[in-house]
Structure 1
Amino acid sequence: MTLAGVLLRLVAVLALGWLGGFLWFSLTLPDPAPLAVKTDAVVVLTGGAGRLARGLAVLEAGSAKRMLVSGVDRRTTRKQLAAAADSPQSRFSTTDLGYEAIDTRSNAEETARWVAQHQFSTIRLVTSAGHMRRARLELSRVLPPAVLVVSDAVPVEPKAPSIAAEYSKYLLRRVALTLGAE
């Protein structure tokens, strides 16, 4: 067998492995957590439709006492968030705005600092269904094992390219962490 034949087979095996993983990833997207599940706090990662509304619904239902919105633009105020959410500003009285995060990894680091500061032992993580696994992966890297994280995925209309991109990012990050990269 030629080197080209070996390389072609290797590429085919890798492509089939990626495709199988993508199917698993797509068919097992997480669901929202029931509002009856109570946690100390709720963490909303910015960047997608429905996330802030879900976090506010969690607070309103009494399912969490405090909320962190991680990855907020530095120029954004509570008043602007309230207007964007079409919600009274008073609903943000137990909300902290996290201005430090710029990506999923820094969302996790910002969340870990906030959890430690408030000594929370349970949090509800709100992000899109496609983003949830990578966000949980990053949180597992920085949160103490004793902190329970409840996944509360905001449903999304799955579109193959965006789900494929999320799966690829998740896969690459898992490999990087396995190889010892931070």
Structure 2
Amino acid sequence: MIRRAFSLLVVLWMLGFLWFAIALPQPAGPEKTDAIVVPTGSGGRIPRGLSLLNAGEAGKMLVTGVDHDVKPREFAAEYDVSSRLMECCVTLGFVALDTRGNARETADWVAQEKVHSIRLVTADWHMRRAALELQSTLPADVTVLRDAVPSSPSLATLFLEYHKLLASWLAQAWPG
């Protein structure tokens, strides 16, 4: 009986990993939101967020998890952001150290800015966990549009992220 239960868990784990690796989230279509949220990390995220901001898909953007050593002028120079856009529309968040911290920092910013809809821009392999953490911290009336940045993750990255997703899901399913 225990072997059967263990075998079933292994099969479920394998099928879950297969789904996770094959069916990566995709970019979102053109849909306006109040704000864009970009957790720092793998390449393509910040340029995608800035492109959407410049296209008028949202009125403001939070970049969460920025290193304390990064100065706004350095960020602006690195990503070719005008001083006008930096002043009006881009917030650099320096509090978060990980995905859960990104979610908390975002929830605080969303409340402060009175935002009701956000476009979450992150890597395709990171999207599910980032969205899970974010939706657990946001009020129910805030909608999240998932906008995945396509990448070519390694098997090791997928393996690690799948287990982080499972751990986050279990932590939320059985808190305390």
Q: Residues 55-66 of structure 1 correspond to what in structure 2 (within 5 A)? A: 55-66=49-60
Aligned counterpart, 2:167: 172
**1:27-70 Cα shifts (integer Å, max 9, x gaps):** 22111112x21000000000110010011001110001000000
**1:156-182 Cα shifts (integer Å, max 9, x gaps):** 11321101111110011111111114x
**Could you tell me the TM-score, scaled by structure 1's length?**
0.89
1:14: how far off?
Answer: 2.8
**Could you tell me the TM-score, scaled by structure 2's length?**
0.92
Distance in 2 (alpha carbons) for counterparts of 1:11 and 1:132: 29
Larger Rg: 1
Aligned counterpart, 1:48: 42
Distance in 2 (alpha carbons) for counterparts of 1:145 and 1:12: 38
**1:113-135 Cα shifts (integer Å, max 9, x gaps):** 10000111000001111111111
Distance in 2 (alpha carbons) for counterparts of 1:102 and 1:15: 32
Q: Residue 125 of structure 1 aligns to a residue in which SS? A: strand
* Over 6 Å off, 4+ runs: none
Aligned counterpart in structure 1 of residue 70 of structure 2, from 57, 66, 76: 76
The percent of aligned pairs where both chains have the same amino acid is: 46
Equivalent residue pairs, number: 175
Aligned counterpart in structure 2 of residue 141 of structure 1, from 130, 136, 144: 136
Q: Which amino acid aligns with 1:116?
A: A
**Any conservation in 2 of the 1:56–1:91 contact (CA below 8 Å)?**
no
Q: Residues 98-117 of structure 1 correspond to what in structure 2 (within 5 A)? A: 98-117=93-112
Distance in 2 (alpha carbons) for counterparts of 1:171 and 1:179: 12
**1:108-153 Cα shifts (integer Å, max 9, x gaps):** 0000010000111000001111111111111111101110100011
Aligned counterpart in structure 1 of residue 8 of structure 2, from 6, 13, 22: 13
Distance in 1 (alpha carbons) for counterparts of 2:80 and 2:44: 12
Aligned counterpart, 1:125: 120
RMSD: 1.6
Distance in 2 (alpha carbons) for counterparts of 1:155 and 1:29: 8
